[in-house]
Structure 1
Amino acid sequence: MSHPIPSRTVSPFPITRLRRTRSSEALRDLVRENSLSVGDLIWPVFVVDGEGVEQDIPSMPGVTRKSIDALVEAAHQAADLGIPAMCLFPYTDPALKTEECEEAWNPDNLSNRAIRAIKEAVPDIAVMTDIALDPYNANGHDGIVKGGEILNDETVEALVKMALAQADAGADILGPSDMMDGRIGAIRAAIEADGHRNLTIMSYTAKYASAYYGPFRDAVGASGALKGDKKTYQMDPANSDEAMRLVERDLMEGADMIMVKPGMPYLDICRRVKTEFGVPTFAYQVSGEYAMQEAAAAQGWLDGDKVMAESLMAFKRAGCDGILTYYAPRMAHMLEGK
């Protein structure tokens, strides 16, 4: 439910000088309306097969694909910094990609092995997963494709098997990012029946068909595989009311937390979700947002650290409870003075 904005009366100048509370750092600290903490950050990471591997991703400077052993080291780093959660995305061997996407629910696939390794080594870190078929799909889509159509119900059946495999591996947060209709209810019913009653679902509820995902698709190896676009299941960037319908549906089906993706171009959606539903609201500062800021900073056109901090504060101001961001360790270092 939305709340009316109260009328305000501000005394005229010079009785009111709004600059008074900006006149020193101490006063600015006292009246600051929003704050950013390490506890607000979720770190998205990319995992690749092998040992001792750190692969640079050219379109995402400073971000690497890590083998599981390197990922465990990163989890220790995150824990030391106070970062509460990591979100895993696999770079799947192209030889394992098929039209039926069977590798997605293989108990020993790359993601599930990574979940087990992190939870064994750093049990206090919350491990979030991605539930979508694109890393395993020969067609590069988030769903099963037949005759050029992305099939909804058949995809949901596959996503349920994927969710159960991740739950059994020890995931703490399931992140369905596929945007198929009915998948939250189906996943919730399946994990409840399987005894995973406390497993949290953060639904990618308002995931837009955005041009900001390009570097991410490079990172997971999906760019070359994608045939066509994702406009039949991801949201139209022109729509806002539709996002509210999706939020209501996903909450009714059993989502615990709601995500908006991308982030900064959709802060109005974040604000609407938080205002109208009052539920835990998250945003994903996606690869394109990160890449743009880093490219400008590399040219000396922007101060990279200041822009990073300002961009993350924007999510808090918009009502977000947390942010998925590739800046998580860097911002945590800054916040903790490490």
Structure 2
Amino acid sequence: MTPFNYARAADVGEALALYQPGSRFIAGGTNLLDLMKENVVRPERLIDISRLPLREITVQDDDRVRIGALVSNADLAYDPLVQGRYPLLSQAILAGASPQLRNMATTGGNLLQRTRCYYFYDSTVPCNKREPGSGCPAREGLNRIHAIFGASDQCVATHPSDMCVALAALEATVEVQGPQGTRSIAFKDFHRLPGDQPERDNHLGEDELITAVQLPSEGFATHSHYLKIRDRASYAFALVSVAAALKLEGDRILEARLALGGVAHKPWRNPAVEAGLVGKAVSHETFAAAADALIQEARPLAGNAFKVKLARRAIVRALDEAVLGGQRP
């Protein structure tokens, strides 16, 4: 780890004023400190935002729920309002990391997690995400955990968050504040596909702070499920995960949401597939057809073709569980 300066901010305005090129904001630090220890990132200054007043979960006048950026993953997952209205989000958070990490990790920090690509974390090898233009050895190397959707010649990394997959399905909104003021970003637009700029994970400016995440009033509380497939039962990143949410009238689907994790540079959705489920009867055949349509876009690498079949089966199973109101993480 290289030397750095440290400053602590008391409010959002002070945090933004302290920012200068080469700075990084730090809250729980569960990902940033790992990156610093491996010399993947070398900030000149850390701006501690852990004391900022951003730890509340509140219901807004329009019935949306606002989650402060510093609400811990543990507090969010076990909050009675979240468990009752957004069980999909609670399940997703509890499927990730460990209790100790969930106690430290924050809502805003979860959105900003970096990929767990082997090559990204190894500073002795090339990586376009770490050093643009240096190459992507994952394309021809070890790529079992890498993307099957939305990748580019420059990068095949995946986004590691479980929470973000649920937020994508719920169509959350990210509140951001920077020197130019405040703005809101639809969750589907927050993260980026790698394209020819794989070093950029999202559309947040370096001098901007996430201040909150807003959830719409509709939480699909009755029919939703988060399914995570991984190599071991705990403290492992998803090979494939699925956030499935349905609104039903009898056995007919009125609305459907499907978001996949572990398969792309951002939580992966296909609105056409979701729209194709509307009006259909709930059945294994309906869900299998949706899964087949979704995986048509898959472009696997030599080492991760198994993810295509795995994703298909996971989609069907998650939708089946959502119909039943499945609560298992």
Give the TM-score category using the shorter length. under 0.3
TM-score, normalised on structure 1? Answer: 0.24
**More strand by percentage:** 2
The structure that is helix-richer by fraction is: 1
Q: Which of structures 1 and 2 has the bigger CA Rg? A: 1
